C-alpha cells in the first residue's frame, strides 16, 4: 500500500512513480470538486467547459509545482512566463471563482507532495459546500429581475392609467427601482408613432407573483411589450 506520509516527507523524490501518483491524486481530488459543483450548482444548465476546467487544471498546476521544486530561479522564470500569458476568461459568479481556486489549490498541494493536506482540504471543502447547499443560507426567498414595458406617448396616456400601473407594480413587488425610460419610435399604419419604454429593477416574492404581475400589466389599457427577465447568479431560480 502506498504511504502518503513517506511521499510527503520525501520532497526530493522525483521518480516516475511519484509523478504518476501525484497526477492521479490531483485528478481524483479535482474530479471530486467538480462533482460537488455539478450537484450543488443552481444554474439551469451546468457550464460544461467550466466543469472540465475544474478537473483538468489541477494536473498542470501540480506538474509545474513539481518542476519548480525549491528552486528560486525556476520560480522566477515561471512568474515571468505567467506574466506574458494573458487569461481573458472572466468568472462572473464569485462561487465559480471559489471552486476554480479550490481546484488550483489541490494541484499546488499535490505538487509539493502535501497529499494529506490536499485530501483533507478537498474533503472538508466539499462537505462544507454540501452543508451550505441544504442550509437556509442558500435558500432563495425572492426573485430579482428586470421588468420592461411600453406605453403610448405620455400626452395620450391618462392619469388614471398611470396610477394603475404604479399601483400594480407596488402591490406585487417587494422593492422597485426605476432604471431608465426613453422614447421609442415605431411605425403604425405606415405612420411614425412614439412610445415610452420603461425599465425597472424589481424584487418579487416568487415566479407565480412575477407571472401575475406581467398579466396584470398586460391587461391595462395602452400597456404593451411587457417582459420580465430573471437576473443571473444567486438571484435566479
Task: Return the C-alpha cell found at 22.
Answer: 501525484
159 contact partners, CB below 8 Å, separation of at least 6: none
The 10s digit of each residue's pLDDT in 48-67 is 788 898 999 999 888 888 88
Radius of gyration of the chain (CA): 27
Contacts 24+ apart (CB under 8 A), 217-220: 217/149, 217/165, 217/168, 217/169, 220/161, 220/164, 220/165, 220/168
Phi, psi angles (nearest 5°) of residue 157:
-115, 125
41 contact partners, CB below 8 Å, separation of at least 6: none
The 10s digit of each residue's pLDDT in 91-145 is 677 888 899 999 999 988 888 888 899 999 999 999 999 998 888 776 666 778 8
Whole-structure pTM value: 0.60
Give the closest residue to 96 by CA, choosing from 146, 36, 144, 141: 36
Amino acid at each position: 500500500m502506498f504511504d502518503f506520509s513517506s511521499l510527503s516527507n520525501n520532497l526530493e523524490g522525483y521518480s516516475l512513480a511519484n509523478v504518476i501518483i501525484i497526477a492521479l491524486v490531483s485528478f481524483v481530488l479535482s474530479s471530486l470538486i467538480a462533482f460537488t459543483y455539478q450537484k450543488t450548482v443552481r444554474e439551469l444548465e451546468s457550464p460544461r467547459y467550466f466543469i472540465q476546467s475544474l478537473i483538468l487544471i489541477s494536473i498542470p498546476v501540480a506538474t509545474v509545482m513539481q518542476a519548480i521544486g525549491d528552486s528560486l530561479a525556476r520560480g522566477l522564470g515561471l512568474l515571468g512566463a505567467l506574466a506574458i500569458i494573458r487569461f481573458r476568461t472572466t468568472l462572473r459568479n464569485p462561487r465559480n471563482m471559489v471552486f476554480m481556486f479550490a481546484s488550483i489549490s489541490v494541484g499546488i498541494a499535490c505538487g509539493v507532495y502535501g497529499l494529506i493536506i490536499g485530501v483533507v482540504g478537498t474533503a472538508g471543502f466539499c462537505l462544507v459546500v454540501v452543508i451550505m447547499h441544504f442550509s437556509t443560507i442558500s435558500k432563495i426567498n425572492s426573485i430579482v429581475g428586470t421588468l420592461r414595458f411600453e406605453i403610448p406617448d405620455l400626452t395620450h396616456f391618462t392619469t388614471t392609467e398611470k396610477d394603475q400601473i404604479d399601483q400594480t407594480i407596488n402591490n406585487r413587488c417587494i422593492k422597485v427601482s426605476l432604471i431608465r425610460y426613453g422614447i421609442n419610435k415605431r411605425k403604425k399604419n405606415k405612420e411614425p408613432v412614439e412610445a415610452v419604454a420603461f425599465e425597472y429593477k424589481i424584487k418579487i416574492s416568487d415566479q407565480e407573483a412575477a407571472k401575475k404581475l406581467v398579466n396584470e400589466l398586460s391587461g391595462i389599457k395602452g400597456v404593451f411589450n411587457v417582459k420580465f427577465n430573471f437576473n443571473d447568479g444567486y438571484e435566479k431560480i
